[in-house]
A and B are shown apart, each in its own frame.
Chain A
Amino acid sequence: MAKTVTFTIFRYDPERDKRPYYKNYKVEVRRPGMMVLDGLNQIRWEQDGTLAYRRSCREGVCGSDGLNINGVNMLSCITHIEDLKEPIVIQPLPSLPVIKDLVVDFTDFFSKYYIVKPYLITKTPPPSDRERLQSPEDRKKLDGLYECILCACCSTSCPSFWADPDYLGPAALLKAWRFIADSRDEGSDERLEIVNDRHGVWRCHTILNCIEACPKQLNPTEAIANLKKAIVQRKF
């Protein structure tokens, strides 16, 4: 018989449950390299069809299945069951409202993301004969910034994000720096104006949880430090 592991899963259906509770499930490790998402699928498909969670690409690209697993935010689809200590405690991403079980409401996360204007802003007209070009060196400056998949693992791991409901959070601020650092972008002034706020970069106290949580190995803390530096250099 295949080896089994225990998943302790946060369950909450606001229409039926008075309060959240944890439920244990046995998951069979049927092949080497099984991911946590495979375990969740096994539970939903074979044991308990009422378990709710998000997933889509199941290969760490779509950012749908950010979860808090054994206390750390990560993607269930790229986390090996065998790398985790038992019992494997699975909770929804912290600080966002729970819709059901492991599904959280991303409205607040995305509205903060839109606030930093996460798109190329240009003021000068593009060259008439071609697209806006960028040198390989300038393009390299965006490595480690553009790869964000908006899974919210970073922002929901941040104690400042938990404490201040209006704090923009590491994901939005990383995106702000991604465009400010882009040689083709001309919207630095307005973006710095937005992030230079009591609920913007100044709420970051370099706790570094965001770096630990990021499944793409990005460094939001460094991006926020660059934003702070850019603001201070302009002001003082």
Chain B
Amino acid sequence: MLGKYQGSGRSGAFDWYFQRISGIALVIGLFVHFIVLHFMTEPPLNYAKVMARLSSPLWKAFDIVFLVFAVYHALNGFKMIIDDYVHGPSIRSFLIGTLWVVAIVFFVIGFLTIVSL
């Protein structure tokens, strides 16, 4: 019976640890956006000012990093739910495969949106 608990490759340590790292990164990222938008932008706040900021290369890089953390955090959360409740190997492979597809689609849509600003 011990064999089941050894050598399974991905144990879940990375998933657990980076769920916390990405969570903290998301909170910091959100606060940076919030503070820059509401407290560091010269009023009145308008579309042109926000767009000017978001289309600068530095902000694009910042938002791409934010996107990576957001997609990882959200989809890894779903993976943990699958780990909790889904134990059949074939249905697990199918669902985790689906998560990868969804993650890549979300990332590509988000990435294209950010770079085209």
Contact = CB atoms under 8 A, between A and B. Distances in A.
Interface stretch (B5-13, B51-59, B97-105): B5-13
Contacts of B1: 111, 115
Interface in A158-198: 160, 163-166, 168, 193-198
Contacts of B16: 202, 228, 232
SS class, residues of chain A in contact with chain B: helix
Contacts of A236: 17
Contacts, number: 56
Interface string B5-27: 11010111111110000000000
Interface residues of A, number: 24
B6 A193 contact: yes
Binding site secondary structure of chain B = helix
A58 interface: no
Given A164-B84, A202-B83, A231 B13 contact: yes
A200 B5 contact: yes
Interface in A83-138: 111, 115
B5 A202 contact: no
Given A228-B16, A232-B17, A236-B17, A196 B11 contact: yes
Interface string B31-63: 000000000000000000000000000000000
A193 B10 CA distance: 12
A105 B85 CA distance: 23
Nearest to A108: B1
B11 A166 contact: no
Contacts of A197: 5-6, 8, 11-12
Interface of A: 111, 115, 160, 163-166, 168, 193-200, 202-203, 205, 228, 231-232, 235-236
